[in-house]
Amino acid sequence: MTLLIAFAATVLVGDLIAVGICAVVEQFSKQISLLLFLLLFVGVIPLAWKLAVRITEPTGAAGSSK
């Protein structure tokens, strides 16, 4: 459950950042802004998953090879 909450939170933050970036780009070109938002929106999902897994990883599990 913690992993899903972390994933949802990282997707939310990533999409808010994407909206902010695209709001700035929209001042110059609406078409590029739309394309950029779609790319960022889709790109946030795998990055958010990797980040959520890293955040919720148990301590000591990373790199312990005994």
Instruction: For 14-63, write each residue's pLDDT tens digit.
Output: 999 999 999 999 999 999 999 999 999 999 999 999 999 999 988 876 65
So what's the pLDDT on residue 58?
84
- pLDDT exceeds 70 at position 64: no
Q: What is the DSSP letter of 63?
A: T
> pTM, whole model, 2 decimals?
0.78
Return the number of other C-beta atoms located less than 10 Å from residue 64's C-beta: 8
Question: In the chain, what are the domain boundaries?
Answer: 2-56
So what's the pLDDT on residue 65?
55
Q: Is the dihedral of CA 46, 49, 51, 53 positive or negative?
A: negative
So what's the pLDDT on residue 34?
92
